[in-house]
Chain A
Amino acid sequence: MPMTDNQGSFLNRISIRRNQVTSMDHEQELEDLELFQKHVAERFLDLVPNDSSSTTDSPAKDQSPLFSISWYRRLLDVFLCCEAEFKALVLIGRDPVQFSKPPLDRLVPDILDRSIKSLDICNAVTHGLELVRHWQKLAQIAVTAFEHKPMGDGQVRRAKKALNTLLTSMMLDDKENNYHAKVAERTWSFGRRSGAAGNNAANNKDRTNGTFRSMSWSVAKSWSASKQIQAMASTLVAPRGGEPTGLALPIYAMSTTFVFVMWGLVAAIPCQERTGLLTHFTTPRNLNWGQSMIALQEKVAEEWKKKEKKGTAGVLDELQKMEKVAQNLVDFAENYQYPADEEKTEEVMVHVAEMSEICRRMENGLVPLQQQIREVFHRIVRSRAEVLDVLDQIGKMSTPVPY
């Protein structure tokens, strides 16, 4: 009958169009996911330092040498951008049912676990930055002392004390946490705990030697940065291709970004228990974003290995420089005798100017860096809550539980 025929063809047409729309939607989605990965690649490429010093390249790169504070701020910006884009793609507007099906059902628990570990790492890094600020203050004392005209005995002594404290603290960075706890307790037990005069004398001596490490209670005792990174990296598995939703690869990209950023932060800033930090995690070379990330990974690993060998303070550029200059200055101060040699004094003033510059960069950069880390922290909290919200919705649809 014509009516039915018309109806039939009408309905057919609608269903075809709907299929087209959904398939177009899906295609669009796949494109967007591809685009996301491209963006990740571009952003990381931007972070890789240029070996050739060509003036036509973006001057911005020169201003933030690799692993400097400003470079890390750029890294965190990259992270925040990627995370925002990722969330918009994968989370918002997605049918919750998809979360109970592969690949999301398998991947989401890992994502959640990684986010928790990242939160703890952010906190540890926040505390680490406090320590770095303390080091900056010590260095500043030395700079002020050296800059005092005329350079007197007392000033040099003062500078020497500050520098020794600084260097000792940097060295102690990676020792066992128990050591610090003991040192802290021994050093600071006052009043009720240590009444004996003898004890006090010993305490005073310890303190003036300057073992500053009140991080013994800033982070949970058994927490280990390297273990957390290890655990995060262990669930990174490159997906096999040909997966229908197209989500596996972007998720892998975002997860790797997560782990890389956290790893980079831990390598740079003193965190509890960094010994044995991972130096390598597999990233496939065939992915567009893989290349730049691998290049950066290799650099981080290189610097970290150097650190473990020489016992330096970490990958952060300013810290490495600070350590070197501090050593120079201490050497000068040790051998100082009044009156100072003109030549030597000039030489040392160059180092002092260097140190002053490092302090200045820290002064300008540490607080914004800390703020960014807090922003990262809160962003992760929010995203996690949104994921849990979606999962909750699926939970609603699950089979009834006999009460």
Chain B
Amino acid sequence: MDDDKSAEQHVIAAAHHLVKALQLQARTSLSNEARRTLADLDSHLAAMAKAKEDETTSLREIEGRFKSAQAKIMTLQSNCLKVWDAGPSELFEYLQNVEEIRTIIESLESMMPNKNGKQNRLASQAHSVLQMAMVRLQEEVIYILAQNKQCFGHACVSFHSCEEIVVDEESMVSIDEDSVEGISCLDSSRADSEEFCQVFIRFWKDALYEYLRLFCMQQISIEDVLRMDWTFLNCRIKKWRQATKNVIAFYLPSQKNLFDQLLGEFGSVSSTCFIECSKDAMLCLLNFGQAVAIGPLQPERLFCLLDMYELLRGLCQDVDALFSEDHGNFIQVEYHKLFKNLGDSAKAIFLGLGNRIASNTSTTPFQGGGVHPLTKYVINYFMLLSEYSDILRFLLEDRVVENSGGDVDAVVRLDISSEFPCQLALHLQSVASTLESNLEHRSSLYKDDSLKHIFLMNNIHYMVQKIKNSKVRTCFGDEWIKRHIVKYVQHEKSYERITWIPILSLITGYEKSGKAVLKERCRNFSIAFEDVYKNQTGWSIPDIELREDLRISTALKVVHAYRTFVGQVKQSLSDKHIKYTEEDMEKHLLDFFQGSAKSLNHHWRR
């Protein structure tokens, strides 16, 4: 006890004794004033002694409290690796003791400035314990979070088909009740808020990183993306779409919820932490998107771009909800910039289709006159486009731009009836007519006029058939279809005229002719027919119906006339002048337009 008394206390005690002694001794020989002074001094010293006594007592008391709190903390810490494992009540006890230490420190510090060594030592000890406890508490928080990590971002996202974006409910970031309680309590007791935030943020950043890795998302430089093989890039883009959808629509909102639950009462800490945690991942996703958006504007890339564009459009509201505050605004801006870039690139490709087709020329005529690969490519492209008609319409009519975080959906959509053709329809029709011009040009490369018409007939027929039976029909309308049917029918007619009229003229109008003329005609007919046969069997009409139509039409005219002619020849001349019977003719006509050239090798005996 006596050791606890500081030097000060000894002095005060000594002085007090002295005063008391004086009071006793010199009771009679002192003046009133002197007596009063001594009395004052007496009470003053008594008060000081008391104060010091109190101080010592309270210091002793504090020390007692400290020792017990420290002991408790040490016990709890050493009992198990993580206090949390011992049970929530243990953790709360731990927290209480830590709180106690903190109060102790506060009272020590609020004491008289002239502290003695005892107080300093105690304060120092308390600080050490507190520091250690703080560090330990941070670990506890992370531990709790890690325990619950099993619930979120698991490899439950399925990759059954790359087409679908499958979202697993378990992608939600959630955490069980107890843990929330635990963490909330820990939060409110932490003294070092900044450090806590850092540890917290680090944990969540890495959790999100792991989650992204499930989708094979990692940072790739723009240069590498531009160098990527197309098939590989395509696959990457699909994964990117899955990742983006899952992260923005599910993971981040639930993470934000969790943060609000845990940290909501601390003002803006929750949102700051949230943004710090999600920034890197968002930038990673957005950067990949940018790399794709600035890639070469080739037609096959259009669909990927449209997929990405559509996805981002669907997520605009989510992004605005997550990142509209001050420090998050940066991400929101980048998001909308990417959205716009993707749209611009897609638009550029789409609007540039006509030019590409126009510049796709040739100097050699297309063998066989069938459906040209360019036609197939363009029309099949149209078929694919019809799957994207909604987003394309949105893209082309979009007039609300340059408004970061603005309401992109506030766009007036034009009515898609044929009276008010939309941009999409107009453009598709324009591309179709560019294709037609291209085909016209190619047809002019044929020396044979008949083939020219066959070629155009084939191709326009193909266009009409495909468009008529598809979703993209609404962009062309009945008028267009009718017009083009007329076109290919005209080509059909032209072909017939050019090819068969000269031949028909040989086997008709012979009534007044003599035998010699007939003979001549027979011979010429055979030659002409063989010629046509040799040429036109090598031509191709891929569409069966069209082929049949043409053959029937030809047969009707030619075979009919031939029958009469043959009859006449048999009558006027002999059989031997007839090279081909009617049946032969019919048979030979079947060989036309099969795409394999044949010839009729007969020896014609003069």
Chain A interface (Cβ within 8 Å of chain B)?
116-117, 119-120, 123, 126-127, 130, 134, 137, 140-141, 144, 150, 152-154, 157-158, 161-162, 184, 188, 190-192, 197, 200-201, 204, 207-208, 212, 214, 217-220, 223, 338-339, 367, 370-371, 374, 378, 381, 384-385, 388-389, 392, 395-396, 398, 400-403
B561, chain A: closest CB distance, angstroms? 40
Complex partner residue of B105 from A154, A200, A371, CB under 8 angstroms:
A154
The answer on a CB contact under 8 Å between A141 and B223 is: no
The answer on a CB contact under 8 Å between B218 and A127 is: no
The answer on a CB contact under 8 Å between A190 and B361 is: no
Contacts of B224 in A (CB 8 A): 220
The answer on a CB contact under 8 Å between B120 and A338 is: yes
Complex partner residue of A117 from B127, B139, B223, CB under 8 angstroms:
B223
The answer on a CB contact under 8 Å between B194 and A157 is: no
CA–CA, A388 to B297, complex, Å? 9
Complex partner residue of B206 from A197, A214, A388, CB under 8 angstroms:
A214
The answer on a CB contact under 8 Å between B127 and A157 is: yes
Stretch at the interface among B282-290, B409-417, B576-584: B282-290
Complex partner residue of A158 from B131, B205, B345, CB under 8 angstroms:
B131
The answer on a CB contact under 8 Å between A152 and B109 is: yes
Complex partner residue of B334 from A208, A223, A374, A401, CB under 8 angstroms:
A374
Complex partner residue of A127 from B127, B226, B280, CB under 8 angstroms:
B280
Residue of B nearest to A154 (CB): B127
Residue of B nearest to A401 (CB): B360
Complex partner residue of A403 from B146, B195, B355, B360, CB under 8 angstroms:
B360
CA–CA, A295 to B209, complex, Å? 43
The answer on a CB contact under 8 Å between A141 and B195 is: yes
A358, chain B: closest CB distance, angstroms? 17
A199, chain B: closest CB distance, angstroms? 11
Known: A137-B194, A388-B297. A217 touches B219 (CB 8 A): yes
The answer on a CB contact under 8 Å between B373 and A218 is: no
The answer on a CB contact under 8 Å between A130 and B221 is: no
Complex partner residue of B109 from A150, A197, A389, CB under 8 angstroms:
A150
Complex partner residue of A200 from B81, B202, B341, CB under 8 angstroms:
B81
CA–CA, A62 to B570, complex, Å? 116
Within 8 A of A (CB), among B119-136: 120, 123-124, 127-128, 130-131, 135
The answer on a CB contact under 8 Å between A191 and B220 is: no
B210-229 vs A, CB cutoff 8 Å, 1 = contact: the mask equals: 00000000111111101000
Complex partner residue of A116 from B146, B223, B296, CB under 8 angstroms:
B223
The answer on a CB contact under 8 Å between A396 and B109 is: no
CA–CA, A141 to B195, complex, Å? 8
Within 8 A of A (CB), among B345-374: 345, 348, 352, 355, 358-364, 372-374
The answer on a CB contact under 8 Å between A403 and B374 is: yes
B337 within 8 A of A: yes
Q: How large is the interface on B (under 10, 10 to 19, 20 to 34, 35 or more residues)?
A: 35 or more
Q: Can you pick out 27 interface pairs between chain A and chain B where the beta carbons lie within 8 Å of each other?
A: A119-B294, A123-B222, A126-B283, A130-B280, A152-B109, A152-B127, A154-B131, A157-B127, A191-B147, A197-B81, A214-B205, A217-B209, A217-B218, A217-B280, A218-B219, A223-B221, A367-B330, A370-B330, A385-B344, A385-B345, A392-B352, A398-B359, A400-B361, A400-B362, A402-B364, A403-B360, A403-B372
Contacts of A403 in B (CB 8 A): 360, 362, 372-374
Contacts of B325 in A (CB 8 A): none
Residue of A nearest to B125 (CB): A153
The answer on a CB contact under 8 Å between A402 and B221 is: no
Complex partner residue of A385 from B127, B220, B222, B294, CB under 8 angstroms:
B294
Q: Is chain A's interface secondary structure helix, strand, loop, or mixed overall?
A: helix
Q: A120-B223, A374-B334 are in contact. List 7 more A-B contacts (CB 8 A).
A: A116-B222, A130-B279, A154-B130, A188-B206, A385-B344, A396-B355, A400-B360
CA–CA, A190 to B333, complex, Å? 34
Complex partner residue of B202 from A154, A201, A212, A401, CB under 8 angstroms:
A212
Contacts of A385 in B (CB 8 A): 294, 344-345
B459, chain A: closest CB distance, angstroms? 13
Complex partner residue of A402 from B139, B280, B362, CB under 8 angstroms:
B362
Residue of B nearest to A403 (CB): B362
Residue of A nearest to B294 (CB): A381
Contacts of B348 in A (CB 8 A): 389
B493 within 8 A of A: no
A389, chain B: closest CB distance, angstroms? 8
The answer on a CB contact under 8 Å between A400 and B363 is: yes
B427 within 8 A of A: no
The answer on a CB contact under 8 Å between A381 and B341 is: yes
The answer on a CB contact under 8 Å between A402 and B81 is: no
Known: A208-B135, A381-B341. A220 touches B220 (CB 8 A): yes
Contacts of B374 in A (CB 8 A): 403
B54 within 8 A of A: no
B150 within 8 A of A: yes
The answer on a CB contact under 8 Å between A137 and B198 is: yes
B256 within 8 A of A: no
Residue of A nearest to B105 (CB): A154
B169, chain A: closest CB distance, angstroms? 20
Within 8 A of A (CB), among B365-413: 372-374
CA–CA, A144 to B195, complex, Å? 12
CA–CA, A338 to B115, complex, Å? 12
The answer on a CB contact under 8 Å between A153 and B330 is: no
B192 within 8 A of A: yes
Known: A126-B283, A158-B192. A191 touches B218 (CB 8 A): no
Contacts of A197 in B (CB 8 A): 81
The answer on a CB contact under 8 Å between B150 and A191 is: yes
B8, chain A: closest CB distance, angstroms? 17
A258, chain B: closest CB distance, angstroms? 16
CA–CA, A197 to B345, complex, Å? 53
The answer on a CB contact under 8 Å between A220 and B221 is: yes
The answer on a CB contact under 8 Å between A191 and B131 is: no
Complex partner residue of B226 from A116, A212, A402, CB under 8 angstroms:
A116
The answer on a CB contact under 8 Å between A190 and B109 is: no
The answer on a CB contact under 8 Å between B194 and A123 is: no
CA–CA, A154 to B104, complex, Å? 13
B534 within 8 A of A: no
Contacts of B146 in A (CB 8 A): 190-191
The answer on a CB contact under 8 Å between A214 and B280 is: yes
CA–CA, A395 to B360, complex, Å? 11
CA–CA, A119 to B372, complex, Å? 42
Residue of B nearest to A140 (CB): B194
CA–CA, A137 to B272, complex, Å? 13
The answer on a CB contact under 8 Å between A153 and B206 is: no
CA–CA, A184 to B213, complex, Å? 15
Contacts of A134 in B (CB 8 A): 198
CA–CA, A190 to B296, complex, Å? 42
A69, chain B: closest CB distance, angstroms? 17
B551 within 8 A of A: no
Within 8 A of A (CB), among B95-153: 105, 109, 120, 123-124, 127-128, 130-131, 135, 139, 142, 146-147, 149-150
Contacts of B219 in A (CB 8 A): 217-220
A248, chain B: closest CB distance, angstroms? 26
The answer on a CB contact under 8 Å between B280 and A153 is: no
CA–CA, A317 to B306, complex, Å? 45
CA–CA, A384 to B296, complex, Å? 11
CA–CA, A123 to B223, complex, Å? 12
Within 8 A of A (CB), among B448-490: none
Residue of A nearest to B374 (CB): A403
Contacts of A126 in B (CB 8 A): 283
CA–CA, A149 to B581, complex, Å? 121
Contacts of B287 in A (CB 8 A): 123
CA–CA, A378 to B283, complex, Å? 14
Contacts of A188 in B (CB 8 A): 202, 206
Contacts of A400 in B (CB 8 A): 359-363
Residue of B nearest to A134 (CB): B198
Residue of B nearest to A393 (CB): B355
CA–CA, A54 to B2, complex, Å? 71
